[in-house]
Structure 1
Amino acid sequence: MHAEFPSLLGAGLILLGIFYLGYLSIKIKLPNVILYILLGIILADVLTDNKLLYFAGEIGIVLLFFLLGLEFNVNRLGGIAKKVWPAGLLDVFLSLGVTTLIAIGFGLDFFSSLLVGGIAYATSSSITAKLLDDRERMANAETEFMLAILIFEDVVAPIVVAVLVGMSTGDAFTAGAFGILIGKILLLTLGAIILGKTVFKRFEIFLDRIADQDFKIALLIGISLSYAGLALYLGLSEVLGAFLAGMMLAEIGRIEKVEQTVFPIRDLFLPTFFIYFGTTVELGDGVPMAGLLAVVLLWSICAKILLGVIGGPLYGLSRRASLRGGLSMCSRGEFSVVIAAVATGTLKVFSGMYIVIAAFIGMVLFEQAPRLTNMVYGKPVKKKKNLKVPGE
């Protein structure tokens, strides 16, 4: 009698696969994210619509952005918002607007062209944030700018999705619907600010009173998942909700108390997100619209580099940091997959191929960004400190 393959066995094998690929990535000096996505693509037929893998991945990505949000308290986030909007609008024009016009130039109708523009718009928040953490670049000058752009895109992308879904079903995306969506974003943000200034104002003292680490884990992960889930309930991105949940707790004096508790859980679940991401990509049997694919890939990379080169100085970065930031934001990922789900037929296969290729090229450019920047501007010269000798 043939027994059904146990989910527990499958989960164990996936965790062993994650260990092996993580170990292999160190040996061959390749980002482990690439290997996780490839594993997902290879196992797509087996793992498609696997709810356990999807849920584990959701926890991982939520905790990643929860921890990122801890670095940005309300005052810092307010200052960033004032500085990032010119670069954010430039990003919309270059990556969404120009790409849509390119697709129209290749003979696609407006809906299909806008869909291609939407897929090419948003940088992969998960891939970029994971690489920033893995490569210890969180303290770099351009990192705040990059994270600000990611959050800006996470606000704009749901609007793009809503427009495309409305067009695909024949319903118009009205000014009222747009207003409601913006209202939800403002409500979620305002709620996080109020909770951070009231309920979580003395959260550090409360954490110190919890001696049992298990209870502390349940509390912190419960907060992050709840606010991320609330964002999903409102039709927004769970990434945005998770980031705001971290921002609520950023008001406490020593965020490392929270980080030390959450880090191990994040590191366990996050690789499953990239494996699941790989299972959602449809590659098909051939290369549809190869000319358009090549042009959109080339332009989407140029658009993000231009975003860094032009938008970085608008944010206050040096030319060196701006170029390094632009080269590090070329990956496409989760929002592209969400938008690609609206596509059908040839356009769906086109979208799958674009996402995989753009993700890989983006990761390579991220790895090479410091070296390429040094090739353009030369190696940074370390400033010598003037040491005064006693008695001089």
Structure 2
Amino acid sequence: MHSEFPSLLGAGLILLFIFYLGFLSLKIKLPNVILYILLGIILADFVHESELLHFASEIGIVLLFFLLGLEFNVKRLGGIAKKIWPSGLLDVFLSLGVTTGIALLFNLDLFSSFLIGGLAYATSSSITAKLLDDRGRMANTETEFMLAILIFEDLVAPIVVAILFGVSTGESFASSTFLLLVGKIIGLTVLAIVLGKTVFKRFERFLDRIDDEDFKIALLVGIALAYGGLALYLGLSEVLGAFLAGMMLAEIGRIEKVEQTVFPVRDLMLPTFFIYFGTTIELGDGIPMVGLLAAVLVWSVIAKILLGVLGGPMYGLSRRVSLRAGLSLCARGEFSVVIASVATGVIKVFSGIYILIAAFIGMFLFEQASAITNKVYGKPVKKKKNLKVPGN
């Protein structure tokens, strides 16, 4: 009789938990993401550093952003890039810069302060995108602005991580390192554009000739994972690589042909990302630096709301829509976990508690964004249609 717990049994139990929690979330009207993260925290001691769970979670998050990328062809992405950079820089200042300053005021050293600034900077791409999809807000006016901010943050966050890793290992972050990172991002983007305009130009016809759905799954998931993996290999975010992979295929005429094949795989794998995310959160034995924790939590919410209120109009959004966008960008997640891995001792425990609370606050504000906006600006007035009466 085997003494070790079989991985296959563990995988089966996790899938059953996912089913039950998904069903429970409908009954109690709570986002299933919250329940998945709580399950991860509970299971942390049993599945900590599980390669199987980690791999499944990577597939889920890559396919989520692959499908998002399908909505943005090169022409549309170029137009968004021109509009988003002022709001993106405002985000860097408010979330990264000011938070670093707050930590310095609490007498932390520069490295620890910058690390906490990094924790508070990047919105959780996975949580935000999942909630947008679950709540049917993908077609909303503010969604393009929100996704553009997420991608901008995914470009800046690797640079922040590189600085922290360099300093923590005693290396200096030279300007050449920064230029190399920027070069990798540009190179990966240009390669995606070239492949989209050449190799994948007639991809729709090729897909039509494949009758077996199994082969389509292997092909499309393989493209998403390969480009996401290439981004990881270059020291960038797999989320960025997956988004660019989707953008490559966005040039085809009917993206629903790709979506209907990939959706089932994404829906099966994505919950494992949030469970794995929960297992990575370090809670420790108590809450250290309560004053700083409260200050950073409050400011990190204010910073994202200000990003929406001030940055939304820069992007061309109305004040109402801008506020709703800001309230929907408050969750912290995967990049914060990566940055927290650099921390040690008290700062590491602080980071875990901050990420957990910020994720829950962000999800709550996302759910209440429309209601809060209506309280501030009043309920939107439906436009009356001028009906022509026959005979008039």
Range into which the TM-score falls when normalised by the shorter chain: over 0.9
Give the aligned residue type for 1:318.
Answer: S
Q: Secondary structure at the match of 2:247?
A: helix
Q: Secondary structure at the match of 2:111?
A: helix
- Structure-2 residue corresponding to 1:329: 329
- Structure-1 residue corresponding to 2:311: 311
Distance 2:2 2:230 in 1: 42
- Structure-2 residue corresponding to 1:99: 99
- Structure-1 residue corresponding to 2:215: 215
Distance 2:107 2:5 in 1: 47
- Structure-1 residue corresponding to 2:187: 187
Deviations 1:129-160 (A, max 9, x none): 00000000000000000000000000000000
Distance 2:317 2:141 in 1: 7
Deviations 1:221-262 (A, max 9, x none): 000000000000000000000000000000011000000000
Residue 37 of structure 1 and its aligned partner are, at CA, apart by 0.2
Distance 1:159 1:177 in 2: 9
Residue 357 of structure 1 and its aligned partner are, at CA, apart by 0.1
Which residues of 2 match residues 86-125 of structure 1 at below 5 A?
86-125=86-125
- Structure-1 residue corresponding to 2:362: 362
Unaligned runs of 5+ in 2: none
Give the aligned residue type for 1:13.
Answer: L
- Structure-1 residue corresponding to 2:320: 320
Distance 1:7 1:19 in 2: 19
Residue 389 of structure 1 and its aligned partner are, at CA, apart by 1.4
Q: Secondary structure at the match of 1:43?
A: helix
Which residues of 2 match residues 2-81 of structure 1 at below 5 A?
3-81=3-81
- Structure-2 residue corresponding to 1:142: 142
Q: Secondary structure at the match of 2:152?
A: helix
Distance 1:295 1:108 in 2: 14
Q: How many residues align?
A: 392
Give the aligned residue type for 2:335.
Answer: F
Deviations 1:188-216 (A, max 9, x none): 00000000001111111110000000000
Distance 1:75 1:2 in 2: 57
- Structure-2 residue corresponding to 1:295: 295
Deviations 1:74-103 (A, max 9, x none): 000000000000000000000000000000
Which residues of 2 match residues 142-291 of structure 1 at below 5 A?
142-291=142-291
Distance 1:157 1:6 in 2: 37
Give the aligned residue type for 2:31.
Answer: P
Distance 1:89 1:300 in 2: 16
Distance 1:256 1:372 in 2: 34
Query: Normalising by the residue count of structure 1, what TM-score does the alignment of the two structures yield?
Result: 1.00
Residue 170 of structure 1 and its aligned partner are, at CA, apart by 1.2
Residue 3 of structure 1 and its aligned partner are, at CA, apart by 2.2
Q: Which moved more, 1:284-293 or 1:1-10?
A: 1-10
Residue 336 of structure 1 and its aligned partner are, at CA, apart by 0.0
Give the aligned residue type for 1:192.
Answer: A
Give the aligned residue type for 1:189.
Answer: T
Give the aligned residue type for 2:332.
Answer: R
Unaligned runs of 5+ in 1: none
Structure 2 residue 371 is matched with structure 1 residue 375: no
Give the aligned residue type for 2:71.
Answer: E
Give the aligned residue type for 2:75.
Answer: N
Distance 2:370 2:204 in 1: 37
Residue 169 of structure 1 and its aligned partner are, at CA, apart by 1.1
Q: Secondary structure at the match of 1:317?
A: coil
Q: Cα RMSD (Å) of the superposition? A: 0.5
Residue 181 of structure 1 and its aligned partner are, at CA, apart by 0.4
Q: Secondary structure at the match of 1:196?
A: helix
Query: Percent identical across equivalent pairs?
Result: 81
Assess, with a 3 A threshold, how the Cα gap between structure 1 residues 2 and 206 changes in structure 2: closer, same or farther. closer
Distance 1:316 1:115 in 2: 33
Distance 1:277 1:121 in 2: 18
Distance 1:337 1:275 in 2: 13
Structure 2 residue 349 is matched with structure 1 residue 349: yes
Distance 2:272 2:59 in 1: 9
Residue 390 of structure 1 and its aligned partner are, at CA, apart by 2.0
Distance 1:264 1:345 in 2: 41
Deviations 1:20-41 (A, max 9, x none): 0000000000000000000000
Query: Normalising by the residue count of structure 2, what TM-score does the alignment of the two structures yield?
Result: 1.00
Residue 391 of structure 1 and its aligned partner are, at CA, apart by 1.8
Q: Secondary structure at the match of 2:129?
A: helix
Q: Secondary structure at the match of 2:94?
A: helix
Residue 2 of structure 1 and its aligned partner are, at CA, apart by 5.5
Residue 324 of structure 1 and its aligned partner are, at CA, apart by 0.2
Distance 2:333 2:319 in 1: 27
